[in-house]
Structure 1
Amino acid sequence: MALFVKQETYFVWQMTSYFDCAATAPIIPDARAALLRFTDLEYGNAGSRTHEFGTQAKRAVQAARAQVATLAGARADEVIFTSGATEANNLAILGLRAHGEATGKRHIVTTAIEHKAVLEPVQALVGAGFEATIIAPDSHGRISDDAVLAALRPDTLLVSVMHANNETGALQPITTIAAGLAGSGAFFHVDAAQSFGKLSAPLADPNIHLISVSGHKLYAPKGIGALIVRRKETKIPIAPLIYGGGQERGLRPGTLPVAIIAAFGAACAAASRDVNKRAARCLEIRQHLLDALLPLGAVINGSLEDGLASTLNLSFPGLDSEAVMLVLKDLVALSNGSACTSASYEPSHVLLAMGLPGDRIDGALRFSWCHMTEEPDWVDVAARISSLR
């Protein structure tokens, strides 16, 4: 009887359309094949130099490093593998602490809409005597490049601005910020967890010194990501946060997880190949969603013109987001904010920073999808939401 219940539950779960790809995305076949190959068959340690198992593992890591680098116009030796974008953000920000203290450059510029994996390391530095200027967005969730550049000071150590916001999908003007920072002496860090492999051209800008990326947002397994550290004329003085082993240019010691690194590389290779086709499919899904939900009075929190093709944040006036998610529970899997703070009932810091009214924030829902997303019956979705009024 228990087995039957599990099968039935699994069937219902599989019938639900998954619209929470900004939290984590499904793994693609190419990545799954690489994961299984280097888990079951070629399971050597990339640091073992005395046998073929280690040699094959090292080759897989080198290939993946090049595949990741390609998506940011970087060199393979500029890719430092991490456990994900959160670790990469911490390494980029906290790793500059010693340099800032040694040079007297203790000022950081960032934005109010950053992921907590940026805001909390910045606050840790503030607690250690640094200063931070936090730039607020406009009502569409966009940061002004002029405001960022106007905040620069002679003692500015780092500017950290995300590429695409994880809650609204709003794209930030990282290209113009990078151009404005050239020659300033400040390092520029971009959290590209949501955009990596989807919008590569802006990330190839050589004036972006540090880029954080995540595997599980790009259809690879969880637990792998990277910090891209440009090897410019002046070495970027990142110091490690942990010690022991010397792997990853000494910045991230520990045995390399070859299987998930290889899977991440395969996912990056597929993204290079299929980026245009994927974008077209995501835009098609977005149009179907808009056609179904805008007639219900849905309000967009963000911008269609300056946002990812695969993320929309919507509010339904008069409706609470929890009520909408409940009525759609067996039809659409979605969220009302970042997965990293989903256990908290505090209002979204992103939407608060945008200056949205409380009822609009309370009703906000994040729909995020990918090229593999199976669409729901949008007529049914609209009917269920309408039933709440």
Structure 2
Amino acid sequence: MPLYLDHAATTPLAPEVREAVVKALDDDFGNAGSRTHEFGSRAKQAVQAARAAVASVVAADPADVIFTSGATEANNLALLGMAAEGTRTGKRHIVTTAIEHKAVLEPLCVLQSRGFEVTYLPVGPSGRISASSVLEAVREDTLLVSVMQANNETGVLQPIDAVADGLADHHAIFHVDAAQGYGKDLVPLRHPRIDLIAVSAHKIFGPKGVGALISRRRGYARAPLEPLIYGGGQERGLRPGTAPVPLLVGFGVAAQLCLRDHDKRLQRCEELRREALEAFGALDFDINGIDEPRLAHILSVAFRGVDSEALMLSLKDLIAISNGSACTSANYEASHVLTNMALSADRVAATVRLSWGPLTPMVPWAEIAARVSSLQSEC
């Protein structure tokens, strides 16, 4: 098998997470909603422990955590779940960026079809929105502000803490898609003015199929969300259905590891980044997005004159990489992120995304560079 360098799409299970999931499958198979026997009680305790662990990463209260199937569902609940409030109050304006994940952009398109007005802010070649442009776009009738924590293609971190500061005296709900940054960039998500945070377990070495929407209280009130599905009172009535206890247990352990191993993980990811850039030093390439601030484990790079599809084919036996978001790769189209950064069509077509993790073994950077060099020499 080639070496896996597509951690921005999904991560492998951490050994401790796998062990916890398997144990929960065997021991905590009860329904967490069953209050009449020990099996239900044990399952409920396991869910409560997971809820506390997920909340601790962002310094939230465990009661703030609404478990979902992942960040996509959490984003949908955060955005579509506010539609009724917008209609009721007449606040039907939303501010966001042009580089959000499709899990944000597509629900916003649905809201537009229902009469909401959405302001999409450009980012420019840096790949980073300015907090001032976000705040200048906010109006009295703004219901929601939605800005991602870190871009999934470039790894560029957005100034969510500065946006949160600027919204201190405004009523708008502040939503952050933190699928890429949760557990990696710790401090910004702890800002108390961020109302809604969407996260996925499978981006932090946890299992697929589980995530959360973290809904903080502001004063005594939370965002006035309405459920998208009905049929039970679980998750404060916002996400009905039987809790997938083993997945939640795995999510909780993955969250704990984010805190325990944060510094060590960051150091290893920075080390791999330095090695990559040193190996690529003699090549003709461009890095997409400003170098700082950014996530340490994502490198969006365009090797001049080399088509990304041809490069991925050349490297297929060596490494597994991508040239865009996994959510749109089945039908390849030019990246909306890179296009909205005003990059040339040639540069967009030449871009690949390499993303690794703290458990990634030695990467054959020299061999990768040699194959890129061979392709460039043919151009």
Instruction: Give 2:42's aligned residue.
Output: 56
SS at match of 2:96: strand
Question: Could you tell me whether the CA contact under 8 Å between 2:70 and 2:200 is conserved in 1?
Answer: yes
Q: How do 1:184-333 and structure 2 match up within 5 A?
A: 184-232=170-218, 233-333=220-320
Deviations 1:215-255 (A, max 9, x none): 00000010000000002223310000001111000000000
Instruction: Give 1:123's aligned residue.
Output: 109
The alignment status of 1:350 with 2:337, answered yes or no, reads: yes
Code of the aligned partner of 2:277? L
Q: Which moved more, 1:319-328 or 1:232-241?
A: 232-241
**Count of aligned positions:** 375
Sequence identity percentage: 58
Question: Could you tell me whether the CA contact under 8 Å between 2:33 and 2:40 is conserved in 1?
Answer: yes
SS at match of 1:109: strand
Instruction: Give 1:70's aligned residue.
Output: 56
Distance in 1 of aligned mates of 2:256 and 2:113: 41
- Which of the residues 105, 129, 141 maps onto 2:127? 141
Code of the aligned partner of 2:352? L
Question: Could you tell me whether the CA contact under 8 Å between 1:17 and 1:375 is conserved in 2?
Answer: no
Distance in 1 of aligned mates of 2:212 and 2:157: 21
Instruction: Give 2:157's aligned residue.
Output: 171
SS at match of 1:240: coil
Code of the aligned partner of 1:243? Y
Distance in 1 of aligned mates of 2:104 and 2:20: 31
Distance in 2 of aligned mates of 1:360 and 1:120: 26
- Which of the residues 92, 97, 105 maps onto 1:111? 97
1:41 Cα offset (Å):
2.4
1:42 Cα offset (Å):
2.2
> Structure 2, unaligned stretches of length 5 or more?
none
1:200 Cα offset (Å):
1.3
Deviations 1:240-279 (A, max 9, x none): 0001111000000000000000000000011110000000
1:40 Cα offset (Å):
1.9
Code of the aligned partner of 2:143? L
Deviations 1:159-211 (A, max 9, x none): 00000000000000000100101121100000000010111110000000000
The alignment status of 1:27 with 2:10, answered yes or no, reads: no
Distance in 2 of aligned mates of 1:381 and 1:243: 50
Instruction: Give 2:355's aligned residue.
Output: 368
Question: Could you tell me whether the CA contact under 8 Å between 2:74 and 2:198 is conserved in 1?
Answer: yes
1:387 Cα offset (Å):
1.3
Question: Could you tell me whether the CA contact under 8 Å between 1:122 and 1:132 is conserved in 2?
Answer: yes
1:138 Cα offset (Å):
2.0
Instruction: Give 1:85's aligned residue.
Output: 71
Instruction: Give 1:6's aligned residue.
Output: none
Distance in 1 of aligned mates of 2:363 and 2:103: 32
Runs of 4+ in 1 over 3 A off after TM superposition: none
Code of the aligned partner of 1:36? V
Deviations 1:18-58 (A, max 9, x none): 11000000100111111101112221111111111111110
> Structure 1, unaligned stretches of length 5 or more?
1-12
TM-score (norm 2): 0.98
